[in-house]
Structure 1
């Protein structure tokens, strides 16, 4: 019996000698990583379940498209200027108002279907529209991309006027302008992609779609002459926060092509 016990002890000692501190640390790290992944999966399932509960209503601040509208209540916190447009107006589905001089004001949340309505508006106005003046808390990325591409195809300019808001996916629309201007008191901000699809998605599918959206937006911004640092700043900012862009940053990333005093007042 002693011989057997002695053999077992010798085997355990030999095994312990082979398991160095580095191996133990690696095993502990992988255990923590596995636990973290479990929590990520749980969080994704909760987000998808919450977002699948109701159809999109741009007037409801709790309902979020792929990039949630930035405006909640009151004025955005720590914004570089004051948003003078009524929050109730900004929460409504985006609408278009043609002003003298070929300025088309696009004001409101970019709801699914906004791009098609924008296309109809542009086609109906013919060559009269020269500038798209944005005042939007953002919304659907797919619609923002389509609007931006149409703006570039039609060789239109974009602007954000004094007191106007252009946040979340709105800067994607702004990027389509051949010339892009922002007034000194305009409020422009970006943040992360957020998958708010109404379809019940698995965590893997939700992550895949978010990555696909990020790649598509990155390619488009590059084609529009926008530097990657703009989207990097967006990806560094949680979806419930905004990274505001001052005049210097707007010029550095290429979102504006002229000085900040060129945009028209609202």
Structure 2
């Protein structure tokens, strides 16, 4: 109709929609600007199996491809490929009845772990680890269950413990780590997409990081461990040196 004009209320709604689209574009653009450099940096880093030295400890993080160059010991039944979620294998290591937790830590694995322990006639004497990490929440819950049960943790020769896995290692009443094992940390997503509105993403990250700091304090681990993690992009992994493992109290004993 000639001369027809959009009502004032319609123009206001159109303006609000335009602003929302603009804000969404800015958030997404800012998110990609923040995420992509980290991804490119990780692409130039060497793989995790390359030996580290002071100042050269950042490696590529491939959660489905844990390093296997270091031979596993005879009492470490490491799988050829990384299980898609935690597997529980009863074995013996260093003269102790051992429960090996191997594979990615998926949501719900903490409940599976608790049920597994409840169904056993007796508890293992220690918990061994070989995991690329995964769900931080589940790792913290598994760790608290291990500490409550008074169990030691173990990293055997040829084992790797990345991302959320070190939080489980931290729970052991004793924490013995082989010099041929790899322990690494990095930033976490805390289960949220990077494309959330900025205020939601920041709130989620702050809450998740607060839970991690509370947990590390509870386990009497040096909070410098969390600083190393926050300085490392999610697509990379920071491999801890022997001195850091002991200084941060993540290892109470280093094994040959």
**Structure-1-length-normalised TM-score:** 0.67
> For residue 220 of structure 2, what is the aligned residue in structure 1?
225
> For residue 92 of structure 1, what is the aligned residue in structure 2?
84
* CA drift at 1:206: 1.6
Rounded to whole Å, the distance in 2 between the matches of 1:46 and 1:98 is 46
Give the counterpart of 2:199 among 204, 219, 224: 204
Rounded to whole Å, the distance in 1 between the matches of 2:126 and 2:148 is 13
| 1:201 to 1:46, Cα distance in 2 relative to 1, 3 A | farther
How many residue pairs end up in the alignment?
Answer: 201
Q: Secondary structure at the match of 1:189?
A: strand
> For residue 62 of structure 2, what is the aligned residue in structure 1?
71
| 1:75 to 1:99, Cα distance in 2 relative to 1, 3 A | closer
> For residue 9 of structure 1, what is the aligned residue in structure 2?
none
Q: For structure 1, which runs of at least 5 residues remain unmatched after alignment? A: 1-37, 49-68, 262-266
Rounded to whole Å, the distance in 1 between the matches of 2:99 and 2:213 is 26
Q: Tell me if the contact between 1:160 and 1:182 (Cα under 8 Å) persists in the aligned partners.
A: yes
**Which deviates more from structure 2 when the two are superposed, residues 122-131 or residues 132-141?**
122-131
> Where in structure 2 are the equivalents of 1:114-129 lying within 5 Å?
114-129=109-124
Q: Secondary structure at the match of 2:133?
A: coil
> Where in structure 2 are the equivalents of 1:1-266 lying within 5 Å?
41-44=28-31, 70-72=61-63, 74=65, 82=70, 85=78, 88=81, 90-100=82-92, 101-197=96-192, 201-261=196-256
Rounded to whole Å, the distance in 2 between the matches of 1:126 and 1:201 is 46
Rounded to whole Å, the distance in 1 between the matches of 2:233 and 2:195 is 22
Q: Larger Rg: 1 or 2?
A: 1
Rounded to whole Å, the distance in 1 between the matches of 2:201 and 2:61 is 21
Rounded to whole Å, the distance in 1 between the matches of 2:241 and 2:192 is 31
Q: Tell me if the contact between 1:139 and 1:168 (Cα under 8 Å) persists in the aligned partners.
A: yes
The one-character-per-residue Cα deviations of 1:165-219 (angstroms, maximum 9, x if unpaired) are 1000000111111100111100110001224337984221121111111111011
Q: Secondary structure at the match of 1:259?
A: strand
* CA drift at 1:82: 3.4
